[in-house]
Amino acid sequence: MIGNQWYAIAPEKLIPPGRMSGLKRLGKDLLIFQTVDGKWGCLEDLCSHRGVKLSAGKLMEDGCVQCPFHGLRFSTIGKCTQIPANGKSSVVDDRYNVRSYAIQVKHGIIYVFYGDKNLATAEVPFFSEFLNDDFVYSEIADTWDTHYSRAIENQLDVVHLPFVHHNTIGRGNKTLVHGPKTLVIEDTIITSSDNEVDQGQRQRKPQECEINPDMQLRFKYPNIWINIIAKKVKVFVYFAPIDDEKVILYLRFYNQITPFRWLNKVIGYFGKYANLMIERQDKRVVNTQRPKRTQLRMGEKLIQGDQPIVMYRKRREELIEAAKGSQPWNL
């Protein structure tokens, strides 16, 4: 995992006001909850007293989580506010506090900061420049048995299209991969496919290619991706790491194809299932890759067409190195 980053981990609709849920994300057991007045909390799903999962308890009217075992209460920032056995008038020592994590909810997504929460910024990663309020979307989730880095690299891979997707988006047997040209701008990778049917022509180098302004792929660290299919159609995915061997892909099909939002919602509903079918073609193959987690130097014999994957790995390792020395998951 890259330290000191906002990770998109789950849809907002998963936890309505007055509800809570225990989620395994980022290799941690987390308790996510939303109070009735809309305040969000993210705590370690572990009572400081006797190690019980707080997610088995209750979200009380005062906005605190009550442990199911002995009734200790914890606020949205993890402060223990009450130990019933000690009486209401007793002062609660800070050693009973539980670990809390910085959390934000924007764009219908729950974000959690992986790292020192004192370094958490107000801005979370998203593609606002492409996904304005004129778009509607429909969302679906799918769990893969691999590290989130493998799933991300698959979405930057333009070489696999005619093989994995030979009967869907890879039709046409365009096996010759020119480039692809790839840019890294701050923490965003931009690329597009430039594939042709192989008739013996020379493969063009990345510097001889251009990125298609109307059809391109973008990835923003640490874990969001967009496929710009057309001006009015986009596919957006956030890769929510469960642990080192599982990831949930939350796939959104965005569109503003017609002037009618209700009709675009219908289009979006069917669009997400069409894209799920394509994504399942990827899943079948990617789940077999070993090792599950990727790194820059890992013995793979990469080719020219893998440039987006190389760029992803390089920048990922730079960000991991830059975060070293800070206190991960700092209280």
The string of pLDDT tens digits covering residues 34-59 is 999 999 999 999 999 999 999 999 99
Is the model's pLDDT at 325 over the cut of 90? no
Q: Quick one: pLDDT band at residue 324, thresholds 50, 70, 90?
A: confident
Residue 78 identity: G
pLDDT digits over 195-219, tens only?
A: 999 999 999 999 999 999 999 999 9
Residue ranges in 146-251 assigned as alpha helix (H): 148-155, 161-164
For a pLDDT cut of 70, what percent of the chain falls above it?
98
pLDDT at 112: 98
Is the model's pLDDT at 247 over the cut of 80? yes
Question: What contacts 311, CB < 8 A, 6 or more positions away?
Answer: 182, 184, 189
Strand 233-243, strand 73-74: pairing: unpaired
CA distance 307 to 204: 13
**pTM of structure:** 0.94
pLDDT digits over 103-160, tens only?
A: 999 999 999 999 998 899 999 999 999 999 999 999 999 999 999 999 999 999 999 9
If we measure between CA atoms, which residue out of 56, 99, 98 comes closest to residue 81?
Answer: 98
Is the model's pLDDT at 29 over the cut of 50? yes
Q: Quick one: pLDDT band at residue 329, thresholds 50, 70, 90?
A: low
For a pLDDT cut of 90, what percent of the chain falls above it?
95
Can you list the domains of the chain with their CATH numbers? 5-119 (2.102.10.10), 136-322 (3.90.380.10)
CA atoms within 13 A on the CB side of 302: 17
Q: Quick one: pLDDT band at residue 331, thresholds 50, 70, 90?
A: very low
- For CA atoms 53, 148, 285, 172, give the dihedral sign: positive
Cβ contact 276:282 at 8 Å: no
CA distance 41 to 104: 9
Q: Which residue has the tokens 């730079």?
A: 318
pLDDT digits over 256-273, tens only?
A: 999 999 999 999 999 999
Q: Where are the beta strands (DSSP E) in the chain?
A: 5-11, 19-25, 28-34, 40-44, 58-59, 65-66, 73-74, 80-82, 103-106, 109-114, 136-144, 176-177, 182-185, 188-191, 195-196, 216-220, 224-230, 233-243, 246-255
Q: Quick one: pLDDT band at residue 2, thresholds 50, 70, 90?
A: very high
CA angle 31, 78, 80 (to 5 degrees): 120
Is the model's pLDDT at 326 over the cut of 80? no
CA angle 223, 225, 231 (to 5 degrees): 160
Per-residue three-class SS string for 272-284: HHHHHHHHHHHHH
pLDDT digits over 57-111, tens only?
A: 999 999 999 999 999 999 999 999 999 999 988 999 999 999 999 999 999 999 9
pLDDT at 328: 63
